[in-house]
Amino acid sequence: MFRKLRIKFIVTATAAIALILAFFLVLMNSIVYTQTEDNIQTVLSILSKNEGELPITDETKENFTKKNIQEGIIYNFQYFSVREKGNDYTISLGNVQSLTEADVRGFLQKILKKPETYGTITRNGRHFTYQISQTASGKLLVFFEATNYIRERDTLFQVSIWLSLASLFLLALLFTLISGIVIRPFVKNYEKQRMFITNAGHELKTPLAIISANTELQELMEGETEWSVSTKEQTERLNHLIGRLIRLARLEEQEDIKLTQQNISLIAEKVATDFAPLFKKEDKNFESLIEADIIEKVAQEEFYELLSILLDNARKYCDPAGTIRLTLKRKAYLLRKRTCITVSNDYKDGRPANIKRFFDRFYRAETSHNNQTTSGYGIGLSMAQHLVSLFRGKIFVTYKKQVITFTIWL
């Protein structure tokens, strides 16, 4: 149990840090991407405004200063333009040395076929952004080499990802190292609680045995009365409750139990056979649908106890003349075949019950602890949940159409 708690702490803390890192990663790269695109579009806008030229005027310098573009970089900008002239295009390569007119004509037709007026082309590892505008003489295409901008942006993205992953790994390692310290107070409190239950259970057995013996002696001397019968019933109830509490405490001590391949169909049939007379005695209908020869890794006695707890719970809360159902079959679950066990019973008064608390210790469907209407202690389902976890399974409870259903997936 404590190992699962440590794992849950590590996973939760790591997931929280991962979300925070992802948020800052997206935020930082979004800001850089936006700034880069803004700078590139500023250069293209100036080129389009000046017929494909980039004059170094005071106005131009002021625009670049507002975008935090250093003046010295401006003189290294590589750009060229293409003008529409009748049915042909005039290419001006005055400020770029890496392309020829043949290269430009090679990708020009592809650009003109696209509906977008802004985009990026890559040639021999170099990135050129372009913008198409309409002038009085026809179309004007301006191109700006944004290789450095795009490489810096991509490098920042890659570095930030690797740094985030490295940070996440180191933090996950740190969480693993300190997880034992974090859950230590819980472990101590749990150990004290378990020891208290075990010790109190053993200490209570002696006075209960004395009360039971005194009651029997009184009946021998004075005869059986309603008071002596009530005393014996409550003594037996307390003995049963103490036994269940000690059983639950011992179950929760077990991190693992020995699981072996078992034909759980045979175990389920035996449980159904054992409970059938009890259901019939209480005038409750019982339906069982058990698929033959289903094999699962379980502990035989504990699996029998699990089904017994659920069927006994169904018996206690089933409506008079209602129906209790037990099914065991293989079904598709999360893209693969798994074993599904369901135990359900009619319960028309189950709507007010808080099904989320059904597995809490001492929780019962009634709003009060009056035990005159339904016997039980409210710890059976808590034991069932722990047994299912020992079998590496999951248990759920639902309430629909006045029927309570417990579903187990193994």
Q: Are residues 142 and 271 in the same domain?
A: no
Kindly report, residue by residue over 389-409, the tens digit of the pLDDT: 888 888 888 888 888 899 999
Tally the domains of the chain. Answer: 2
Q: What is the pLDDT of residue 371?
A: 41
DSSP-derived secondary structure for 303-317: HHHHHHHHHHHHHHH
For CA atoms 54, 59, 65, 71, the dihedral sign is positive
Task: Give the domain extent around 287.
Answer: 257-409
Q: Are residues 6 and 127 in the same domain?
A: yes
Domain boundary, last residue among 137, 154, 171: 154
What's the chain's average pLDDT? 79
Q: Are residues 137 and 16 in the same domain?
A: yes
State the CATH number of the domain containing residue 265. 3.30.565.10
287 forms beta bridges with 325
Domain boundary, last residue among 102, 133, 154: 154
Q: Using alpha carbons only, give the angle 71, 77, 81 rounded to the nearest 5 degrees.
A: 130
Residue 189 is assigned to a structural domain of this protein: no
Residue 169: φ, ψ to 5°:
-65, -45
Kindly report, residue by residue over 332-360, the tens digit of the pLDDT: 877 788 899 999 998 887 666 666 777 76
Interatomic CA distance for residues 287 and 342, integer angstroms: 12
Q: What is the pLDDT of residue 356?
A: 73
Q: What is the pLDDT of residue 196?
A: 66
Tokens of 58: 């005071």
Q: What is the pLDDT of residue 326?
A: 92
Residues 383, 247 contacting (CB under 8 angstroms): yes
Residue 185 is assigned to a structural domain of this protein: no
Going along 23-112, which residue ranges are E strands? 79-85, 88-95
Per-residue model confidence as pLDDT tens for the chain (410 residues) = 567 777 888 888 899 999 999 999 999 999 988 888 888 888 888 888 887 777 766 666 666 666 556 554 665 678 888 888 777 788 888 777 777 888 888 788 788 888 888 888 887 788 888 888 887 778 888 888 888 888 888 999 999 999 999 999 999 899 888 877 877 777 676 666 666 666 666 666 677 777 778 777 777 777 777 777 778 777 776 776 677 666 666 666 555 677 888 899 999 999 898 888 888 888 899 998 988 888 988 888 888 888 988 998 888 888 888 899 999 998 887 778 889 999 999 888 766 666 677 776 655 555 443 344 445 445 678 788 888 888 888 888 888 888 889 999 98
Interatomic CA distance for residues 104 and 94, integer angstroms: 13
Residue 245 is assigned to a structural domain of this protein: no
Kindly report, residue by residue over 156-214, the tens digit of the pLDDT: 999 999 999 999 999 989 988 887 787 777 767 666 666 666 666 666 667 777 777 87
State the CATH number of the domain containing residue 149. 3.30.450
pTM: 0.52
Q: What is the pLDDT of residue 305?
A: 84
Interatomic CA distance for residues 121 and 108, integer angstroms: 10
Q: What is the pLDDT of residue 365?
A: 53
Domain boundary, last residue among 154, 187, 209: 154
Q: What is the pLDDT of residue 16?
A: 92
Chain centroid to Cα 312, Å, comes to 32
Q: Please name which of 239, 381, 244, 399 lies closest in space to residue 307, comparing C-alpha atoms.
A: 381
Q: What is the pLDDT of residue 165?
A: 92
Q: What is the pLDDT of residue 120?
A: 87
Residue 183 is assigned to a structural domain of this protein: no
Q: What is the pLDDT of residue 373?
A: 43
Residue 181 is assigned to a structural domain of this protein: no
Residue 29 is assigned to a structural domain of this protein: yes
Q: What is the pLDDT of residue 73?
A: 60
Q: Are residues 273 and 145 in the same domain?
A: no
Residue 248 is assigned to a structural domain of this protein: no
Interatomic CA distance for residues 216 and 228, integer angstroms: 8
Residue 180 is assigned to a structural domain of this protein: no
Q: Are residues 143 and 263 in the same domain?
A: no
Tell me which residue has tokens 């590496």: 392
Q: Are residues 144 and 263 in the same domain?
A: no
Q: Are residues 264 and 140 in the same domain?
A: no
Interatomic CA distance for residues 289 and 327, integer angstroms: 5
Q: What is the pLDDT of residue 70?
A: 55
